[in-house]
Amino acid sequence: MKDTRLDVLARGLVNYSTAVKPGERVLIELFDAPEEIGVALIRAVRARGGVPFLQTYAARLTRELLVDAVEAQYQFLADVELRRMKGMQAYIAVRGAHNIFEAADVPAERQRLAMKFMRPVQDWRVKRTKWVVLRWPTPAMAQQAMMSTEAFEDFYFKVCALDYAKLVPGMKTLQALMARTDRVHIKGPGTDLRFSIKGIGAVICGGLRNIPDGEVFSCPVRDSVEGEIAFNTPTVYQGASFDNVRLKFARGQIIEATANNPKRLNEILDADAGARYIGEFSLGCNPRILQPMRDILFDEKIAGSFHFTPGQAYEEADNGNRSQVHWDLVCIQRRDCGGGEIWFDDKLIRKNGLFTGGPWTALNPDQILRR
């Protein structure tokens, strides 16, 4: 029987992204995703000798639980989920969304309460398991991308089935460059931003964690960020939509934040002491993702983009900032999106979305797709 594209995708997630070994327990979580991808994943795990476990979720039911969430409810749930996660060696999540604004009317304090108690579960999963997360193509996502459902599904499988190993050599050269860089200067329309990444290091993302993938990330020294930045990519966070986000920094802290929805924006940034500091700086380089669609797993990988993230830092590239918030805000610097420049220690590294001046030019889309 000929493999379907579901089989190809499932094998990539199980064999490459999580590299499941015989006897390993694998938790598969489906969020508004069809049974067919669950079946394909279960079969792929068993073909590797792994032991599959399955949990399904529906966004409308999750919203109903959140609307009147109480501390005792989420404390108990977190204890149960953490115990289960501690028994897993790998984790695969397929996240669909029939309505990306399903949680838009959930009070912010209820969302913060749930995030507070569920954070240890996420931390254990991220730090202690082999994990991969991906979206599932739905008509709602096709609408976000302004494409027909059929065309979007074709785009989705082409992006997610990219041979990510092709990105890794170029990523390693960029990783080495970022590891020895001190000063970063980003210029563009509405943007003049300076910060240091000295001593932080960098991490390559070549298909082992998020699908679609394609980024190399570091993190600013916590108090080093100065200047202002204008993001040209729309974003959805905690069920709310934001356009034209602009941030102004002094001594690492966001001192001014504006957008089409400034009240909600500042509520999120006031969630805790770390939310107004930056926890990630990353360069996106997926050659098959060019336009934003209000889905961060896609948008943060856009070729010629970077993202700058208020909130929690990853321990792999850590500046010590801790927060329940981790909000990837994306700016595309390709010429068709307004252009821009990124400088490392006074050397131009990327101009108008294209890498320049070193072996990291292997990450430019034309270089990747011709290999």
Same domain, 144 and 190: no
Same domain, 96 and 171: no
Same domain, 247 and 329: yes
> What are all long-range contacts of 70-73, with beta carbons under 8 Å and residues at least 24 apart?
70/113, 71/113, 71/117
Confidence (pLDDT) at 65: 94
- Mean pLDDT for 15-43 is 96
Same domain, 180 and 124: no
Residue 281 confidence (pLDDT) above 60 = yes
Percent of the chain with pLDDT over 70: 99
Domain end marker among 160, 176, 207? 160
Confidence (pLDDT) at 186: 98
Domain of residue 93, CATH code: 3.40.1830.10
Same domain, 192 and 325: yes
Confidence (pLDDT) at 165: 85
Taking alpha carbons only, the member of 322, 198, 299 closest to residue 245 is 299
Confidence (pLDDT) at 51: 98
Work out how many domains the chain is built from and give that number.
Answer: 2
- Mean pLDDT for 54-69 is 94
pTM (predicted TM-score): 0.80
Which range of residues forms the domain containing residue 72?
A: 5-160
Residue 1 confidence (pLDDT) above 90 = no
SS3 355: strand
- Mean pLDDT for 36-45 is 97
**Predicted confidence band of residue 210 (pLDDT cuts 50, 70, 90):** confident
Confidence (pLDDT) at 365: 94
Confidence (pLDDT) at 297: 86
CA angle 248, 250, 254 (to 5 degrees): 50
* β-strand pairing of 278-284 with 305-310: antiparallel
Same domain, 50 and 196: no
Domain end marker among 107, 133, 160? 160
Confidence (pLDDT) at 104: 87
Confidence (pLDDT) at 2: 63
> Where do we find the tokens 């996240």?
95
Same domain, 53 and 71: yes
Same domain, 188 and 254: yes
Report CA torsion sign: 295, 207, 30, 117: negative
Domain end marker among 160, 183, 213? 160
Residue 295 Rama label (left phi>0; alpha psi -120 to 50; beta): beta
Q: Which of 51-55, 227-231, 266-270, 295-299 has the lowest mean pLDDT?
A: 295-299
Same domain, 117 and 65: yes
Confidence (pLDDT) at 345: 98
- Mean pLDDT for 293-314 is 94
Same domain, 304 and 356: yes
Distance between CA atoms of residues 269 and 308, nearest Å? 14
Same domain, 91 and 236: no
Same domain, 194 and 314: yes
